[in-house]
Amino acid sequence: MKIIGIIPARLASTRFPGKPLANIGGKSMIQRVYEQASKSNSLAKVIVATDDARITEEVIRFGGEFVLTSPTHQSGTDRCAEVIDLFPNFNAVINIQGDEPFIDPAQIDLLASCFEDAETELATLVKPITNNQDLFNQNAPKVILNKKGEAIYFSRQTIPFIRSAEEKDWLGKHTFFKHIGIYGYRADVLKTITKLAISPLEQAEHLEQLRWIENGYKIKTKITELETQAIDTPEDLLKISSDLL
């Protein structure tokens, strides 16, 4: 199994314009993500996928590889699909979030291990929820798994609903899982899912993985105890930068 890591990156972030070029301890965010991904033992190649020349210039500066992609893509998944067309010898893709400068390579390796099973179509990571802040945070999607470890639903709501207990006691009644937003795709499946129309559940929850489930694709999961800090806002950057001092 030959796996490529792709880091979608764009400058036009609503909450944090120019985010990939933000300076974190003397290195740009995109450089830090690239360097962490390159430490993975599972990836044969790492590529930055971007539509902006300023990002390509930064990638050239630190010696990385990039592909200049279309500016019309609606998601990182779409950007990954354009890139994989240029690398037909790869069997699977890991989509690495461009706003996680301290992603642990072990997370990438764990996700890549899903593709040791030839039947894996799509894959992602989940983490047990241990506090009520995550459990009831609508910005932290929850996941329901079947007995095979496949994701059967994602929601911004807390799922499942525990009918027989007060909310403050839910964590003691059930093991809840939080979605960790890193994806793996078998190359042929990636090309297919990006051609699917937006589905009703995706439209309702604004979670693209629901489109795949509604169309019958299986999403294999692995459980991780690791979670790295994503940087969504300038305030997040200030916090993570202060932690480096």
Give the pLDDT confidence score for residue 115 in this predicted structure: 97
Sign for the CA dihedral angle at 79, 80, 81, 87 comes to positive
How far from the centroid of its chain's Cα atoms is residue 239's Cα? 22
The per-residue pLDDT for 142 is: 98
Predicted pLDDT of residue 232: 78
- pLDDT (mean) for 62-73: 95
pLDDT score recorded for residue 239:
76
Structure tokens at 17: 């314009």
Is it the case that residue 28 has pLDDT exceeding 80?
yes
Task: For residues 152 and 144, give the distance between their C-alpha atoms in angstroms, rounded to a whole number.
Answer: 6
pLDDT digits (tens, 9 = 90+) for 101-116: 999 999 999 999 999 9
- Helical segments of 74-164, H only: 76-84, 105-112, 132-135
> Tell me: the pLDDT tens digits for 135-180?
999 999 999 999 999 999 999 999 999 999 999 999 999 999 999 9
SS (H, E, C) 174-229: CCCEEEEEEEEEEHHHHHHHCCCCCCHHHHHHCCCHHHHHHCCCCEEEEECCCCCC
In the chain, the largest separation of any two C-alpha atoms, in whole Å, equals: 58
Is the confidence at residue 245, as pLDDT, over 60? no
The answer to whether 102 touches 188, Cβ cutoff 8 Å, is no
Q: What is the mean pLDDT of the chain?
A: 94
Query: What's the Rg (C-alpha) of the chain?
Result: 18
Helices 105-112 and 29-38 sit at what angle, rounded to 10 degrees?
50
What structural domains does the chain harbor? Answer: 3-235 (3.90.550.10)
